[in-house]
Chains A and B, each alone.
Chain A
C-alpha cells in the first residue's frame, strides 16, 4: 500500500550509511525536493548509485543541481556512476581521498540495475571487453559464448530508490515527462524501499493503464507537493 509523505519525512527515512539509487541524468529527473531535505539533514556515508553527479548551476536556479548538493556536502562516501565530468566536486573529493568512485559504462549500469530488479544473476555484455572496466569490482568474470567474449556484470541493488514522476496517482502509479524517466524505471524495481516524488498528485484513472510506466505496486512512498497534503 503506497503511503503519502512530505519531502522532510521521506529524507528522514534514509539512515546513515544507506545505499541509494537516484533516478536522473545530469539532474534531469532527480527527486529535487527530497534531495534538498536530505542535504539539510546532512545524513552521511551514503552510497550513491547515479548516472552522474549532476552539475553546478541548475535550470531551477540552484547552485548545486539535484544530487550535486549531496556530493558538495560530502555526504557521499562511495559513488557508482558512468560520468562525473560536469561536477568538479567529484574529482576534488576523489583526490582528497574522501570519495570512492566506481565508473561503469552507462548501458551496463542500466542493465545491471534492471537485472537486480528482475531477479537475474547478472548481465552478459560485450561492452568493456579489452578495457580497464574488466578489473571493476562489479565484473564477475569474462565469458566466451559461441565465439564472442562478454563481461559478466553483477546485478545492482540498493536499500532505497529515489525517483521523480511528473504525475503520480493515488495508487502510486507514475507517469514521467520528457527525458526524466532515464534510470528511474529500472531503479524502481531494484531497491528495498522505493520513494517517488510527485510533481502533481492525480486521481486514480487520470493516468490511463497503458500510460503507466512505474506501477504503484513498486512504490512504497509517494512524496506529495506541499499543496496536495
Chain B
C-alpha cells in the first residue's frame, strides 16, 4: 500500500485525547501529531528531559548545545512545558503519568510481548528508554507496517529478545487495528483494501475476528 505510514499515523491519532501525555518513539510515531483533529493537543514528553515539548524550534530559538530531544536534535519546551532531570523523567514514565506511548516493533506477539531493541549479532543499539516506557505508560500502541517486506512481524511468540512482556495494548498497521486481549489478538478494524483472509495470511498469530468488525477510517 502506498502512503502506508501516513495511513497508520492518521489512525493512531484517533486514539489520543486532548491533554494526553504522550511519548513518541522514533520514525513513524513522530508523524502522528500532524494527524490530530483540531482541538486535540498533546503534552509530549522527551525522555531526556522535557515534559511538554514545543513545536520544532526556529533557527533563532534553536540552542543545540543546551536543548535537544532524545534523538539529540534541537528541541524546546512549549510555553507551558518544563525541563526535568532523568530520574524525574523516568519517574513520570514508570509512575503511570504518561497516558500513551507509540512505538514501532521488530516483532510483537499474541500475548502482547514486544521486541524492538536488539537484533543479536547484527544491531545492538541499546534499549534507551523503551523498556521503561512500555512497562510504565498506561497505554502502549505499536504503530508499524504489518509485515517486514512480506515476512511476519505479528507472531504467536516473539523470537527476538524482548523489550517487555505482556505490554502491548493495541497494534495499528496499514491492514487493520488489532487489540491484545487475554484470549489473543482481536481484529477490531480492517482496511477495506484488504480482505480478512489477506490480513490473516500476513499474520502468524491466529486472529480472533471481532463481532463488531469495522472498516478502518
Chain A residues within 8 Å of B, Cβ to Cβ = 25-29, 51-52, 55, 59-60, 81-86, 91, 94, 101, 103, 105-108, 110-111, 113-114, 125-133, 166, 176-186, 213
Checking A91, A106, A130, A186 against B128 with a beta-carbon cut-off of 8 angstroms, the contacting residue is: A106
Task: List the B residue with the shortest CB-CB distance to A186.
Answer: B87
Provide the residues of chain A in CB contact with B47, threshold 8 Å: 106
Provide the residues of chain A in CB contact with B67, threshold 8 Å: 28, 177-179
Contact B129 A84, beta carbon cutoff 8 Å: no
Report the interface size for chain B: residues with CB under 8 A from the other chain. Answer: 44
**Interface of A, helix, strand, loop or mixed by DSSP:** loop
Contact A183 B85, beta carbon cutoff 8 Å: yes
Provide the residues of chain A in CB contact with B131, threshold 8 Å: 105-108, 127-128, 131, 133
Contact A179 B87, beta carbon cutoff 8 Å: no
Contact B49 A105, beta carbon cutoff 8 Å: no
- The verdict on B1 contacting chain A, using a C-beta distance below 8 Å, is no
CA distance A86 to B129 in the complex (A): 15
- The verdict on B164 contacting chain A, using a C-beta distance below 8 Å, is yes
CA distance A182 to B87 in the complex (A): 8
Chain B residues within 8 Å of A, Cβ to Cβ = 46-50, 63-68, 70-72, 74-75, 77, 83-87, 89-91, 93-94, 113, 124-132, 135-136, 161-165
CA distance A94 to B120 in the complex (A): 13
Provide the residues of chain B in CB contact with A105, threshold 8 Å: 127, 129-132
Checking A60, A132, A182, A186 against B49 with a beta-carbon cut-off of 8 angstroms, the contacting residue is: A182
What 6 A-B pairs are tightest by C-beta distance, nearest first? A85-B125, A107-B90, A26-B72, A178-B67, A107-B132, A130-B165
Contact A178 B83, beta carbon cutoff 8 Å: yes
Checking B86, B113, B161, B164 against A51 with a beta-carbon cut-off of 8 angstroms, the contacting residue is: B86
Checking A60, A182, A186 against B48 with a beta-carbon cut-off of 8 angstroms, the contacting residue is: A182
CA distance A131 to B158 in the complex (A): 12
CA distance A91 to B125 in the complex (A): 8
Contact A85 B126, beta carbon cutoff 8 Å: yes
Provide the residues of chain A in CB contact with B132, threshold 8 Å: 105-108, 125, 127
Contact B86 A83, beta carbon cutoff 8 Å: no
Provide the residues of chain B in CB contact with A213, threshold 8 Å: 85
Contact A110 B87, beta carbon cutoff 8 Å: yes
Contact B93 A59, beta carbon cutoff 8 Å: no
CA distance A51 to B89 in the complex (A): 14
CA distance A107 to B164 in the complex (A): 14
CA distance A105 to B93 in the complex (A): 12
Contact A59 B70, beta carbon cutoff 8 Å: no
CA distance A125 to B74 in the complex (A): 31
CA distance A113 to B87 in the complex (A): 9
Contact A178 B63, beta carbon cutoff 8 Å: yes
List 12 A-B pairs, Cβ < 8 Å.
A25-B49, A28-B72, A103-B127, A107-B90, A107-B94, A127-B94, A132-B161, A166-B66, A178-B66, A179-B67, A182-B48, A183-B85
CA distance A106 to B124 in the complex (A): 15
Checking B70, B85, B94 against A185 with a beta-carbon cut-off of 8 angstroms, the contacting residue is: B85
Contact A91 B124, beta carbon cutoff 8 Å: yes
Contact B66 A110, beta carbon cutoff 8 Å: no
A102 to chain B, nearest CB (A): 10
Provide the residues of chain B in CB contact with A28, threshold 8 Å: 48, 64-68, 72
CA distance A94 to B162 in the complex (A): 22
CA distance A103 to B50 in the complex (A): 23
Task: List the B residue with the shortest CB-CB distance to A103.
Answer: B126
Provide the residues of chain A in CB contact with B46, threshold 8 Å: 179
Checking B50, B63, B75, B124 against A94 with a beta-carbon cut-off of 8 angstroms, the contacting residue is: B124
Provide the residues of chain A in CB contact with B48, threshold 8 Å: 25-26, 28, 51, 179, 182
A95 to chain B, nearest CB (A): 10
CA distance A176 to B49 in the complex (A): 12
B183 to chain A, nearest CB (A): 20
Provide the residues of chain A in CB contact with B130, threshold 8 Å: 105
